[in-house]
Structures are given as C-alpha cells and as structure tokens.
Amino acid sequence: MIYKTLSNDKFNIIIYYPSDSDLLKKYILNSLFPKQNIFVRDPSEIFVSLKILFYFFFNLFLNIHLLRTKNLRFFYELTLIKILKPKLVITLIDDDLNFLSFPFFFDNQILFIAVQNGFRADWYVSSNASILNDRICKFPRPSNFMFFCFGEYERELYANYFPNLPLLPSGSFRVAVSNQIYNDKEIYDICLILPIELFIFSKYFRSEWESYFAADQTSITFEIFQNNLSLLFNLEKYCSLYQKKLIIPTLSGLKSREVYFLKSLFNSPLVDIFDFDQRKHGFESYHFINNSKVILGTSTMMTEAFGTGKKVLQAEFTQEKFFTNKFLNDINHLYSPSFSELESKLNNLFSMSDLNYLNLSKDKAKYFYNLGGISTDVSIRSFILDYFKNLS
C-alpha cells in the first residue's frame, strides 16, 4: 500500500490500472483527446486529503445499506472518481469487480469502458457471479458503460450471470495493436505457447515436485504437470523427425535455470527460444504467433490465435478444461501428450490447406473472436466518439 497526496483533482480521463496504459494512450486516447489530462490510477496507491476523507465518509453514509456487498476499497475508489470528475474511465483489467460496479453509481456524464484482456472461462465468471450480482442486480442496464469483449462467446457467457452488463464483441485490443507494430510473415512451423503448468517445474525443481503437489497448494496435479513435461519431450522428438522449425517465447518470471532447461532440451538449430528479458514492448509472443503456421499450447493467446484464423492445437490436460473450450473442433484438440497423438494431430494440421482449415473453423472462430471487419482499437475509438457526440 502506497500513500500519496493528490497534486491535481481535475482530470478528463482516468486509466484504471497502469497495465498497458501507454498503449491505451497511443492507440485510443491521444487521437480523441489531445492535450487533455490523463490520470493513470493504480489501486494500490492511497491518496489522502481532507477533501477525500470528507467525501469518502459522505458516500459511505449515503450508501451504508450497500456496505454488506461492497468493501471499503470500493467506496474509496468511488469517492476518488467523484472528486476527479473525469468524462471517461477506461481499463484493460476487465475482471475487476469494483470497476464493473462503478457505472451503476454515475450518470451519463462519465463513460466507463472495460476492454477484455484475457480469456474468461465459465468457471471463472461464475465464481464472481454472487459478489457482483449483489452489487448491481437491482440496477437497470447502464447507458454509460460498454464492455468490449473478444466475441459472442463472452457476451453469451456474461449474459447468463449478469444480464444488465452491456457487452460488444470486438476482438482483442492487444492483437490489434500487435498487427500495427509488426508486418508478419510465416517463418516458423510451430509456436509453442507454454502452459502455465510447465513453469512449476522450475520453481519446484526435481525432488520438490511431488512434495509441492502432495501439499495440495495448487489445483494443478502432479499428473498434469508430468503430461505437460512429456509434451515438451515429444515435441522435441517431432521437430527433429520432421525437421520443423519451432519458436518458444518464454513468459515473465522465468529464471536462468528454467531457460537453461528449455535450451538444453531443445538443443537444435531448428528451435529458437526467445527469452522474456529480450522483450521490448510485450508483443513478441503475438509476433511469433503470426510468424508461425501452427500454434501449440494453452493460454488466452491460443483463443486469440484461433479467432484470427490461425491453425491451433490446444494442449490442456486439466480435468476441468479451463482453457480448452467445447466449441473448438476435434482437429484443434490434443487429448494426450503421447507422441503418436501429437504426431497425428500436427501432421493433420500441416497437411490441411489454409482454405480447408478456414472452412472447418471459421464459424467457431467468429464465435470466439468477432471483429466485424473493424480493428478493435478503431471500434473502441468510434464508440467513444459517438457517445460524446450524442451526449452533446
């Protein structure tokens, strides 16, 4: 927790959370609101002043009946927005429950926009349903809020739990930005987006593996971890056998011994391992996805790749299938880490023409990732522009 004094209490725009705030400024806000004050709000910081304290307790008193369903942090953030009086509050942290509640407590003079930044599975959204619904279920759908989601899948998913949340399928903001940074060509055969389970081998190494999983500190079982590790070994075997060029962009937090493990396993000129420390702006993984013919792994980026028409092979061995969604085709599923399964599925994807693959996947891809023919950043800018034009 960081305590600060607020040097200015008048801002036109608030970016809620620092995450990718520079991207929001560059690709959305600067062209719409040149030379206007932008406040990047980090909820870990607490601003203290007599004015803030007065309005905080005043808001708390007015809404004391809601205290059961809202924490003090919510009332503090509400107070801060009321004091700053912005005309736009925008975030890429779309799953922040406080942010999703804010629009219901303001009139149309303040526009709130949430931009989806990660795949949202049913289990994840439902886990927050009771908390958020206690806050907003009695309110009508706000006209001063829009949730820009990946596709129809999220709109239907959220509608099941939060019918008064407005959502607009618009694709991925990060994909839209990466397409403007790079002019990509396919130079790799496979891009491996490592499942998060694979990183546990590095933090809890060798003899520590089984004791870590046995201690029930994670929902990821040792069996799942072993399956993902087998996938690595069999992928190395496949690339050597078929002379396929592989790129592995590592994730943040990977230590030197972990990178060493990957490089020792894939000790081949056919394999490139891109260390996170070499990254310049966080879009290298998207760049490598666009540079590759087949994307293998499990993450939000797999959903984005599938939605944009890439050949994907979803490799997830959790019982809950957190990322592997039932709407994907059989050709996109890797059901086991065995070499025969991996070989069969990859060979099928490589042998399939782009046109045939598109015909098989286009309807489901559109369901997950509906661009509507407009880049996500353009869609957001157009919505903001139209909103304030109609407001005036």
Per-residue tokens: 68: 């059961």
Q: Give pLDDT tens digits for 95-148.
A: 898 899 899 889 899 999 999 988 887 777 887 777 777 777 777 888 999 999
Alpha-carbon gap, residue 288 to 286, rounded angstroms? 5
Nearest to 286 by CA among 179, 376, 169, 151: 179
Taking the C-alpha atoms of residue 115 and residue 146, their distance in angstroms, rounded to an integer, is 9
Element (H, E) at 315: strand 311-315
3-state helix, strand, coil in the chain (%, to 5): 50, 15, 35
Tell me how crowded residue 382 is: count the other CB atoms within 10 A of its CB. 12
Residue 219 pLDDT exceeds 60: no
The Cα 271–Cα 321 span in angstroms is 28
Q: What pLDDT was estimated at residue 93?
A: 94
| Tens digits of residue pLDDT in 294-331 | 999 877 788 888 888 899 998 877 665 555 555 567 88
Q: How far is residue 166's CA from residue 261's CA, in Å, rounded to a whole number?
A: 46
pLDDT at 207 over 80: no
Q: 253 with 277: CB under 8 angstroms?
A: no
Mean pLDDT of 15-36: 90
Separation CA 103–CA 323 (nearest Å): 30
Q: What is the band of 208 on the pLDDT scale with cuts at 50, 70, 90? A: very low
Distance CA 149, CA 380 (A): 11
Structure tokens at 180: 């403007």
User: Where would I find the H helices in 102-192?
Assistant: 122-127, 129-136, 152-161, 173-181
Q: Could you give the CA distance from residue 27 to residue 366 in angstroms, rounded to a whole number?
A: 24
Domains of the chain: residue spans and CATH: 2-171+373-391 (3.40.50), 183-368 (3.40.50.2000)
pLDDT of residue 206: 43
Average pLDDT, stretch 44-56?
85
| E strands in 48-187 | 88-91, 111-115, 145-149, 167-169
- In angstroms, the CA 177 to CA 302 distance is 17
